[in-house]
Structure 1
Amino acid sequence: MKKILLVLVIILAMSSVAMAAPVTNLEKGESAVGYLYWNPNVDAFGGDFGNASASGFYVETAVSDKVIIGLETIKGDKSKTISGIKAKVDTRFTDLTIQYKLDNNIRLIAGNRNYDTDFAAAGVGSYSNSSDKFFYGVSASTSLGDKATAYAAVTHSSIATEWQIGANQNLTKNLDLNINYRYYDQDDDLTLKGIGAGLIYKF
């Protein structure tokens, strides 16, 4: 039973490998597509599970002067052997979002996050789960000269709060490099934190 409980901890630790898209400045009619990577440290129930990998893509488009809609999908995975049991968890989440610009620097955020988790462990079996959570939040951004923008964002759902700070640096007219730090806290039992990076193409 102890072994099974330990494996279940891994499920909980990995079922929420999540990251929201960076804050991107878009005007009406503009769109952005981006690749994201995150390698957070996973801490569950006071235990350090090391680092996990998560990566994916997102797309956003400004449908008006005030409204931006977006779609993001991220996949994370983790393998670990505990008490002789080799377990692997694959998680994919998909966000549908809408952002409303209060002004050029402040936005309100709302959306739905779908979690899909597949788990398998030798001698224990397999498990799949899918769930949806509504989330909401706010972001703020400011220019750092002519070619860079800094931002901060926070989102909250019924199970978790996520903070993100970052910066977008123009590499070319249409291509940005994103560097960020994220902190994800789920019901005080799970935290994920670490630096992420991405590339954003605007058109």
Structure 2
Amino acid sequence: MKKVLLGVGLLLSVSVGTGAAAPINDLDRGQTAVGVLTDTIYLEHKIGENLTVGYQNVDRKHGSDMDDFYAQYKLPFSSVRAILGHRDLGSGSTYIGLSVSEGLAPRVDGYASVIGSDDFIEYQVGATLELTRAVDLNLNYRNFRPDHYRNESRLEVGASYKF
């Protein structure tokens, strides 16, 4: 157990140093989040009342990185967001999706998302723990099902820094 806690502590110290992490963030207008997960780094910025734009880089096991440019639009009066993005400019594909997030407990939010295109589908379920107003800890399960590579499922840990 001590080794697991030490490993999580080391991951957090590295993550917070570079920025840190979670795919579904609740940002205020004009706020930016920088994040790291097990194999992902990302940057998001909320540019309007309901619109967040972002970039993420995922280091996949099969040897090629994937770069995503995306937008999330929070539907009025709900916790649902519509997602539109493009993976790997030039040779990639445009994808669409939905996410939902809800408070589970004080300072803990749960979320689920699905995105897909004609080349892949990706599911994600996770929870975010607010450590401070600027730093969140994230734990999620991600399932990636591409058409041309092996399916990947993994449990991921990360953190995010908001400013």
TM > 0.5: yes
- Read off the aligned partner of 1:96 and give its amino acid letter: F
Q: 1:65 to 1:91 in 2, by over 3 A?
A: same
SS at match of 1:190: coil
Asked if residue 62 in structure 1 is aligned to residue 62 in structure 2, the reply is: no
Residue identity over aligned pairs, in percent, reads 33
Asked if residue 153 in structure 1 is aligned to residue 153 in structure 2, the reply is: no
Structure number with higher helix proportion: 2
The counterpart of 1:105, out of the listed 74, 79, 82, is: 79
Displacement, 1:92? Answer: 0.9
CA RMSD between the two structures: 1.9
Question: What residue in structure 1 maps to residue 31 of structure 2?
Answer: 30
Mind listing any 5+ residue stretches in structure 1 that lack a counterpart?
A: 1-20, 38-54, 78-88, 116-129
CA contact (8 A) 1:71 1:94 kept: yes
CA contact (8 A) 1:32 1:200 kept: yes
Asked if residue 114 in structure 1 is aligned to residue 115 in structure 2, the reply is: no
Equivalent positions of 1:41-56 (< 5 A) are 55-56=39-40
- Read off the aligned partner of 2:81 and give its amino acid letter: R
Displacement, 1:36? Answer: 1.2
Partners of 1:32 and 1:189 in 2: CA distance: 30
Asked if residue 201 in structure 1 is aligned to residue 161 in structure 2, the reply is: yes
Worse-superposed segment, 64-73 or 184-193: 184-193
Question: What residue in structure 2 maps to residue 90 of structure 1?
Answer: 63
Displacement, 1:189? Answer: 6.7
TM-score normalized by the length of structure 2? 0.80
Mind listing any 5+ residue stretches in structure 2 that lack a counterpart?
A: 1-21
Q: 1:139 to 1:30 in 2, by over 3 A?
A: same
Partners of 1:180 and 1:141 in 2: CA distance: 13
Q: Deviations over 1:35-55 (max 9, x none)?
A: 111xxxxxxxxxxxxxxxxx2
Equivalent positions of 1:166-185 (< 5 A) are 166-185=126-145
Q: 1:76 to 1:189 in 2, by over 3 A?
A: closer
Displacement, 1:58? Answer: 0.4
Bigger Cα Rg: 1
Q: 1:187 to 1:73 in 2, by over 3 A?
A: closer
Displacement, 1:187? Answer: 3.4
Partners of 2:91 and 2:149 in 1: CA distance: 18
- Read off the aligned partner of 2:37 and give its amino acid letter: L
Structure number with higher strand proportion: 1
Question: What residue in structure 1 maps to residue 17 of structure 2?
Answer: none
Q: 1:74 to 1:185 in 2, by over 3 A?
A: closer
